[in-house]
Amino acid sequence: MDGNKRRKKIIEILNQEKGPVSGAELAKRVGVSRQVVVQDVALMRAEQEEILSTNKGYVLRRQSAQEEADCIRVFCASHTTEDTLNELYTIVDYGGRLLDVFIEHEVYGQIHVDLIINNRLDAEEFMEALKHSGDQPLKILTNGCHYHTVAADSKKNLDRIEQELKKKGYLAK
């Protein structure tokens, strides 16, 4: 299969799947190495395909930020690593979908990672992956300060999320 056909097949697979697909799984389905898939994804992103990389694999952005603009809010948070799971639970329990985490680093500028955490199971899997990796969360680079982009079905849900995060002391002052 040539590169163009392979990249079309990758998009087809990502369109059909409801959740993320790992690089290894994509490689198996299109008959190449994981590294070739990584290169294909980079090429497709350069061609404006909205492919997100999450800790579980690749996913297509299904709805543009512009379409959801009325129901998206960025929260500036600061808390201990031990409070991270509770922060994630708070967001999803009040109807939020955590799209990403990013920091503003003094030297490197903005560092952004797509998360796509839609429910408690996603939150638990993220925390397990972080725990087993031995790595530290991104917020370590900025003394705990980090940002989350959160989507919800209504502004009311976003207001509730903000209220609860503030009540728990998770929002930066």
Across the range 121-150, mean pLDDT stands at 91
pTM (whole model) above 0.85? no
Q: Which CATH number fits domain 3-60: 3.40.50.300, 1.10.10.10, 3.30.1360.20, 3.40.50.720?
A: 1.10.10.10
Query: Which CATH entry fits the domain spanning 69-167: 3.30.70.1890, 3.30.230.10, 3.30.1340.20, 3.50.50.60?
Result: 3.30.1340.20
What is residue 66's predicted lDDT score, i.e. its pLDDT?
A: 45
4-53 pLDDT, tens digit per residue, is 899 999 999 998 887 889 999 999 999 999 999 989 988 888 888 888 88
Q: Classify residue 40 as exposed, middle or buried by CB count within 10 Å of its CB (0-12, 13-18, 19+).
A: buried
> Cβ atoms within 10 A of the Cβ of 167, count?
10
Q: Which tens digit of pLDDT belongs to each residue from 52-107?
A: 887 788 888 765 444 445 589 999 999 999 999 999 999 999 999 999 999 988 88
